[in-house]
Amino acid sequence: MNISCNDRDRIFEDGTPAEWAALESHAATCAQCAEELRAWKSLSAVASELRDYSDRPALWPRIQRSLAQQTERGTHRWNLRRLLPHFSISWQTAAASAFALLLLLSGAWLLGPPRKDPAQSPLLRNQALTDVEHAESAYVQAIDKLAAQAKPQLQNPGTTLTASYREKLLLLDSAIDDLRAQTGLNPSNAHLRYQLLAMYQEKQRTLEEILEEKR
């Protein structure tokens, strides 16, 4: 086999035994290849400096102990991997499907519409609403009585202050009408009810001040 210096690296990387022999022959007549070949082989030789196979007797007993401990732990633990091979693939598939279905149903139950709280049943809520509406109606009637008393004064305001009270009452009535319209659409909204109550209280105070002024 004829080889040249150009084949050297290829043979170093992946040469056949015959090619190595040919390289050795070539190196006998080529100083550069002889040097490269010697250096290449020397690297293999120098690697032996990194071999230290001295044994430390304590290592195996230590490993053995840890293996035994792991075995012991393993027998006390439910090992799915060991269990599964005892079931056929169809049973494993069925079990996986059942588990997936269970997950799906659980998800649907959790993410579905909110369940009714027994403490806030519609009956009780409707009863509470009825109570509020009754109280509100009574409050409105009481304020209407005050308004009736203040009506003559408001129709003929003698002072600038009374005229201002009348303007204020007009604004309050307008706001009350708006809020009543909104509570009509959403009767259970407690926030609207509180706002409405605040408007009625303000109207009551204003009427009382007008009547006070008259005295």
Partner 1 sequence: MGITGLALTWETRIPPVAQRERRVEPFREQVGTQAPAVDASHREDFELAAACRSGDLRAYERLYLLHGARMKNLARNILGSSADAEDAVQETFLKVQRGIASFRGQSSFVTWSFRILVNTCYDARRSRLRKKEVASEDDQPETAPRREPRAPVAHPSLRLALETALAKLTRHQRDVFLLYEVEGFRHAEISGMLEITEAASKNTLFQAKKNLRQMLEPPRAHDAAGAR
**Residues binding partner 1 (CB under 8 A):** 9, 12-17, 20-21, 23-24, 38-56, 59-60, 62-64, 66-68, 70-71, 81-82
What's the min distance (Å) between Cβ of 74 and partner 1?
Answer: 8
Which residue, 24 or 131, has its beta carbon nearer to partner 1?
24
End-to-end CA distance of the chain: 135
Which residue, 58 or 110, has its beta carbon nearer to partner 1?
58
Which residue, 60 or 194, has its beta carbon nearer to partner 1?
60
What's the min distance (Å) between Cβ of 80 and partner 1?
Answer: 11
**Which residue is listed with tokens 């105070």?**
205
**In the chain, which ranges are continuous DSSP H helix?**
8-14, 17-27, 31-46, 59-76, 80-83, 89-111, 122-155, 160-185, 190-214
What's the min distance (Å) between Cβ of 63 and partner 1?
Answer: 5
Report the 10 Å Cβ neighbour count for 150: 22
What's the min distance (Å) between Cβ of 97 and partner 1?
Answer: 24
Which residue, 16 or 127, has its beta carbon nearer to partner 1?
16
Q: What is the CA radius of gyration of the chain?
A: 49
Say which DSSP state 28 is in: T
Confirm if 200 and 208 have CB atoms less than 8 A apart.
Answer: no
What's the min distance (Å) between Cβ of 57 and partner 1?
Answer: 11
Confirm if 157 and 214 have CB atoms less than 8 A apart.
Answer: no
Which residue, 74 or 158, has its beta carbon nearer to partner 1?
74
What's the min distance (Å) between Cβ of 75 and partner 1?
Answer: 9
DSSP 137-168: HHHHHHHHHHHHHHHHHHHS--SHHHHHHHHH
